[in-house]
Chain A
Amino acid sequence: MSRILSVNSISKSFASKKIIDHLSLDIQAGEFVSILGPSGSGKSTLFHLIGGMYNPDEGEILLNGNQINGQRGSISYMPQSPSLLPWRTVLQNVLLGQELQGKKDVETAQKMIEKADLSGYTNAYPSQLSGGMKQRVSFIRALLSPQPVICLDEPFSALDELTRLDMQKWLLSIWDEHKKTILFVTHNIDEALFMSDRIVILSAKPASVTEEFILPFSRPRHNELLLTDEFLAWKRKIFYTLRK
């Protein structure tokens, strides 16, 4: 595996308050990495830095070896709220990421919509969809965007527990086929354990990496995993690490 994204010792302060302090992170191509941290620990700030919304005060961010400090549009993004354009149909929304970068691929988009069980909704407007459906559309949009790394910012935090579990499994099944690199921010330990290859734990403000865990669970993952002793042991371990 080759290193696709590296964050080298970046720092960021807002109004003389340090939010991120010499944070370093390496992501391999095709890896599913979760970033776990207490709320308000600067997880979103980290995403905004990688996404180029801000420039880091120190350090650099490399994508395939090229520096992308402050460069917007270098990564694909799935925000917390679905953020679909209400005047666009599902198909048009899904194509947005490609449209911004240049060429559109309608055929693949239609296939992906079908795979997401949304075939009847290709020409529906977002207001006609349920919360879970909107998130699926949002994820397909991120997948179809041409960038090699997808950043997901607590994408399921607004969904109820059952829909959330369905969405997690759905996302993993789609991801298994496409093997894009995923950086997943969450504050939910179960979610991080269930989905990732590796978990990175951030400290409270100012954020830096406290610890990293490589998870031994095999893929594909099933519901039963959530109740195995091994899973619970990991949960305990991560819980205590977060508490430290």
Chain B
Amino acid sequence: MAFLSKSWRTLVALLLLFITWETMVRLLEIPQWLLPSPLKIFQEAALNWSDFSVHLLSTLRLSLSGFAIGTAIGLLTAIILFLVPFLKDSLYPLLILSQNIPTIVLAPLLVIWFGFGALPKLIVITLVCFFPVTVASLDGFKQTPAELRHYLSMAGANKNQLFWKLEFPSALPAIFSGLKISATYSVMGAVISEWLGAKEGIGVYMTLASSSFRTDRVFVAIFAIMILSLLFFACIMIIERFVVRWKTKGGDSR
């Protein structure tokens, strides 16, 4: 697989970065509360694992459910807007506006309205997750090849058949691009939503760590978020490869 044979370069680059970081911290004698060395961060992660894993799991659960709800709403919105052009004309600008509200500002408001339960957190994740899926899917639906649409119309397909047999499957690659973006956003959304006030989660762990100047723990949290996002992304990519395998199989016989 091309993906694996190329990934060693990334690994080498990452390793080099860590080595430079480690030597700089040691040579310049940077205090630990300012910038801990990578070794120190890994040590902290290993030592504190049983405590941290509780937070990690909580965030994982939150981002997964937020992602599921967000992308489902995103896809549904795209389908409705596509099938009812009148709604698209009136609501599409509002959707874009919804992305202009900074999440950090919106979050405290949501707490005022919905309290400290799971609901405001899920709303935050949904808000960051639905948009990429909606936009990507709408683009995908629109870019259905004209010749295929023409053939299906001539063959007597009704609007319903046209959508499920043509427009939806042809939009799948676009929908997956949206899903990949949403997958990485969902972890970030979950962490932000945990800042609102939660009992556990990487967001909580991070706030506690930074307020007590445990910079090493902040970095543990940052790395955890990165790895989680990457894993999400990889999962979607694997599912995509299976679902749109007709695309990857292109022209291998001639």
Contacts and interface: CB of A to CB of B under 8 A. Distances in A.
Interface string A76-90: 110101010111100
Contact of B169 (A87, A97, A145): A87
Interface in B225-248: 244, 246-247
Given A53-B153, A77-B155, 19 more contacts: A48-B154, A53-B154, A72-B153, A72-B154, A72-B155, A73-B157, A76-B155, A79-B150, A85-B166, A86-B170, A87-B169, A87-B172, A87-B247, A88-B246, A96-B155, A96-B165, A100-B155, A127-B251, A130-B254
Contacts of B251: 127-128
B165 A101 contact: no
Interface of B: 147-148, 150-157, 161, 165-166, 169-170, 172, 244, 246-247, 249-254
A175 interface: no
Contacts of A85: 148, 165-166, 169-170
A127 B147 contact: no
B161 A87 contact: no
Interface residues of A, number: 29
A83 to B, nearest CB: 4
A125 interface: yes
Given A72-B154, A96-B165, A127-B246, A87 B170 contact: yes
Nearest to A153: B154
Nearest to B253: A128
A52 B251 CA distance: 35
A124 interface: yes
A110 interface: no
B249 A74 contact: no
10 cross-chain pairs, A with B, having the tightest CB-CB distances, nearest first: A73-B156, A127-B250, A83-B151, A77-B154, A87-B246, A51-B154, A128-B253, A125-B246, A72-B156, A87-B169
